[in-house]
């Protein structure tokens, strides 16, 4: 028996396949590109080609697009990213007390005590420190993103960069370049600034204790990891599957839900070949005037979401 986890985010869609021991058998990373339905289908085309005969015992979805993914796939559990990342981390190490998670366009901190989420924080409006911002700076400096963190480790001195705002940070970096500072020192300064911004905003008021896990795509950046260790004076651990931890947590939760129900709602890998369309309408039944999204599969309406009262999302529209 195997288990699926799907994490649909604003930047990437990640799919994992776990075995009975909750080890990763397959992981798929795809760019969402504003089309979550297509991203999920592209992922399932890969799964169908390689694992079509595999028996799936449970499915979970998470991420900002978790509801639409659940409608497409037939998920047994739909959970927020905080819960999914916490479950995945605790599966690896029960002693984890702090999770730093930085993705493509958001970042969060999760505080765990005695194996339970006791507090969390998320970034609000600024993208400074997220993966998309770092990608932009790597591109501007003409450095492959895979090497960006290595540049920071080559530096012997840091350059003070304003990290509170993405616009100001970029302007400050350009100014420092014009003054003649080398790339390594500027990049180290940026890493330090982004970590400082994270701890002062996302982590404000939170008690950061070891053991600390660093998850999300930005965890691949060695410069950011080192900057966190310098700022916190603790070792920071990056899990093997740091970039798909949300999907792993979703799969574990999906397994638990399916086992409680005694069956899975999973629709199968054939959804890769289905024709999906989405439409929206405004419900006029109350003053909320909710904008409701309706998903259609092969000319059959399969579900709605987006309403506040649950009138549409709690039933299959036919």
* Contact in structure between 110 and 203 (CB atoms under 8 Å): no
Give the closest residue to 102 by CA, choosing from 35, 4, 12, 34. 12
What span, in angstroms and rounded, lies between the C-alpha atoms of 215 and 93? Answer: 13
Residue 104 — very low, low, confident or very high, per pLDDT cuts 50/70/90? confident
Tell me: the pLDDT tens digits for 54-83? 999 999 999 988 988 998 999 999 999 999
DSSP letters of 84-146?
A: HHHHHHHHH-TT--EEEEE-SS-EEEEEEETTEEEEEEE--S--TTSHHHHHHHHHHTT--GG
pLDDT class for 315, splitting at 50, 70, 90? low
Sign, CA dihedral 222-224-225-231, equals: positive
Contact yes or no for 269/52 (Cβ under 8 A): yes
pLDDT number for residue 208: 95
Other residues' Cβ atoms within 10 Å of the Cβ of residue 49: 10
With 0-12 / 13-18 / 19 or more C-beta atoms within 10 angstroms meaning exposed / middle / buried, residue 21 is: exposed
Confidence of residue 317 (pLDDT cuts 50, 70, 90): very low
SS3 217: helix
Chain segment 253-304, per-residue pLDDT in tens: 999 999 999 999 999 998 888 898 888 889 888 888 898 888 888 888 888 8
Reported as half-sphere exposure (CB side, CA atoms, 13 A), residue 100 has a value of 32
* Residue 143 phi, psi (nearest 5): -120, 130
Left (φ > 0), alpha (ψ -120 to 50) or beta: where does 29 sit?
Answer: beta
Residue 197 CA to residue 40 CA, distance in Å, equals 33
Instruction: Give me the residues paired with residue 56 across strands.
Output: 2
For residue 221 the two structure tokens come to: 């950046």
pLDDT greater than 50 at residue 318: no
Q: How confident is the model at residue 127 (pLDDT cuts 50, 70, 90)?
A: low
Distance from the first to the final alpha carbon of the chain: 32
């Amino acid at each position: 028996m195997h288990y699926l986890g799907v994490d649909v985010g604003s930047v990437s869609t990640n799919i994992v396949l776990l075995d009975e021991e909750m080890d990763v058998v397959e992981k798929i990373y795809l760019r969402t590109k504003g089309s979550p339905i297509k991203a999920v289908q592209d992922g399932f085309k890969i799964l169908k080609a390689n694992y079509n005969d595999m028996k799936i015992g449970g499915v979970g979805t998470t991420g900002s697009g978790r509801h639409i993914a659940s409608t497409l796939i037939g998920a047994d559990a739909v959970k927020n990213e905080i819960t999914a990342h916490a479950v995945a981390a605790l599966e690896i190490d029960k002693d984890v007390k702090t999770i730093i998670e930085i993705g493509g366009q958001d970042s969060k901190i999760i505080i765990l005590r005695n194996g339970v989420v006791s507090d969390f924080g998320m970034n609000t409006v600024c993208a400074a420190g997220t993966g998309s911002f770092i990608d932009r700076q790597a591109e501007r400096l003409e450095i492959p993103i895979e090497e960006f963190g290595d540049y920071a480790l080559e530096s012997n001195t840091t350059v003070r960069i304003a990290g509170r705002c993405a616009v100001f940070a970029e302007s400050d970096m350009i100014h420092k370049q014009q003054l003649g500072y080398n790339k390594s020192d500027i990049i180290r300064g940026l890493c330090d600034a982004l970590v400082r911004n994270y701890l002062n905003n996302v982590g404000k008021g939170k008690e950061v204790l070891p053991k600390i896990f660093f998850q999300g795509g930005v965890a691949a950046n060695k410069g950011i990891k080192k900057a966190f260790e310098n700022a916190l004076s603790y070792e920071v651990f990056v899990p093997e599957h740091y970039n798909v931890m949300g999907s792993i947590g979703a799969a574990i939760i999906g397994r638990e839900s399916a086992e409680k129900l005694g069956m899975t709602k999973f629709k199968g890998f054939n959804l890769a070949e289905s024709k999906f369309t989405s439409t929206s309408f405004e419900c006029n039944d109350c003053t909320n005037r909710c904008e409701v999204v309706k998903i259609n599969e092969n000319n059959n309406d399969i579900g709605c979401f987006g309403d506040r009262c649950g009138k549409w999302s709690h039933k299959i529209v036919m």
